[in-house]
A and B are shown apart, each in its own frame.
With several copies, the nearest count.
Chain A
Amino acid sequence: MSLSKAELAATVARDIPHGAYVNLGIGQPTMVADHLAPDRGVVLHTENGMLGMGRAAVGDEIDPDLINAGKVPVTQPPGAVYFHHADSFAMMRGGHLDVCVLGAFQVSARGDLANWHTGEPGAIPAVGGAMDLAIGAKQVFVMMTLFTRDGTPKLVPECTYPLTGLRCVSRVYTELGVFEIEEGGVRVRETFGITPAELQTRLDIELLQDRP
């Protein structure tokens, strides 16, 4: 069986090291937080100026001055700290975060990321922190469906959408499999409800199938 969105989020969460500093991009990556048990000691960064971010706020907890990068109200657990935007992005760009988890339109076989712009003529460009996040962690995990709705692969030889970052993705999590971007190519780490051989037939990139 291919993974549900919740299962995919749980799979990403499983691979985040104990005590890691992590930024979860807006959208689907936010769901990873639901699968990080407190005893894992994972510390969440939100680029609008907070480390140690808590869960989504509910009811009386909602405070318009306390939001995440997706502008969703969150909570302040013990040990949380605040800083300004330049310090927050210096923290990212300086490579201090262990993991960023991002969504994507496309990832190339060498780890190029496209996730900010579809390149459509009428679209209003909006990059936010995407380009900083793409280069802002020791490891960048992408969470996405492996195919678009019309069946086109999103793990591709070369991105056709405008790039967010060059050679920045370390791992790609999809409903059908987890892929490691290595120097020599893309390695299949695990598959869900499909064999590696079947996966190979549906993708335009050469998959490395076995750990050396």
Chain B
Amino acid sequence: MAGFYDSADAAVAGITDGSTILVGGFGSAGQPVELIDALRRLGARDLTVVSNNAGNGDFGLAALLTAGQVRKMVCSFPRQSDSWVFDELYRAGKIELEVVPQGNLAERMRAAGAGIGAFFGPTGVGTPLAEGKEQRTIDGRQYVLEYPIRGDIALIKAHRSDRMGNLVYRKTARNFGPVMATAATTTVVQVGEIVPTGDLDPEAVVTPGIFVDRVVEIR
């Protein structure tokens, strides 16, 4: 049952050193900046962060990297025009990087949330990112065996929540949020607005409240 918190700091309380954190967002869209800032203030260290990108500019995820709290990034696209924080840490050997194709990143988290032990996916066959992985030809097509990516914590951003923790998102800010919500032991969500239960269209809810543990409204 989702709990409701008064501040981002309260919502991230208890996240421990060494945790694996799934962080929503594609670039800045859907990035839960206030939750990440609270995680920075909390000071948990030695974190593994799973996120599509490795931070933009000097805010949010980039600021968490600057604070030296992240041991390893798992992402599809660390290198962006404004990813100077990550770039510098990486070149200085101060952060580990695991590059995962974007579709595998999404599908492997979905597998974690859906109880799938592993799956044969079509992406990356014959490329360096499939080296050392189990491969199999099925029905004449080659596949690579991929394992789930689970998080201890997911930090995501949604548009609205009701009091059951049901979530709707906004446009392409939806991106990884719904998948990460299913793949983490504890899912923490910042929403633009908490609305009374019954105000969300039951046909349009994207993340049912069962996947949501903590909600904080950040207007």
Residues of chain A having any CB pair with chain B under 8 Å: 18-21, 41, 43, 45-52, 63-68, 71, 76, 78-86, 88-97, 112, 117, 122, 124-132, 135-136, 162-166
Contact = CB atoms under 8 A, between A and B. Distances in A.
Interface in B107-122: 107, 109-110, 112-116, 121-122
Given A79-B162, A90-B107, A48 B114 contact: no
Given A48-B26, A51-B208, A86-B106, A127 B163 contact: no
B78 A126 contact: yes
A90 B175 contact: no
Interface residues of B, number: 69
Given A52-B164, A128-B77, A132-B102, A93 B121 contact: yes
Contacts of A122: 91
B178 interface: yes
B172 A124 contact: no
Contacts of B28: 64, 71
B72 to A, nearest CB: 14
A127 B113 contact: no
Interface stretch (B7-15, B39-47, B126-134): B126-134
B101 A82 contact: no
A85 B175 contact: yes
B125 interface: yes
B103 interface: yes
B114 A82 contact: no
B85 to A, nearest CB: 12
A65 B127 contact: no
A22 B115 CA distance: 18
Contact of A164 (B122, B127, B176): B127
A80 B202 contact: yes
Contacts of B182: 90-91, 94, 96
Contacts of B29: 48, 64-67, 71
Contacts of A50: 171-172
Given A93-B103, A126-B78, A164-B127, A82 B172 contact: yes
21 contacts: A52-B164, A63-B171, A64-B173, A65-B30, A67-B29, A82-B202, A84-B169, A84-B175, A86-B106, A86-B178, A89-B103, A89-B107, A92-B103, A96-B182, A117-B128, A126-B77, A128-B102, A129-B101, A131-B123, A132-B102, A165-B124
A124 B79 contact: yes
Contacts of B113: 90, 94, 96
B28 to A, nearest CB: 6
Nearest to A96: B210
Contact of B179 (A45, A51, A86, A127): A86
B7 to A, nearest CB: 22
Contacts of B209: 43, 51, 79, 81
A78 B123 contact: no
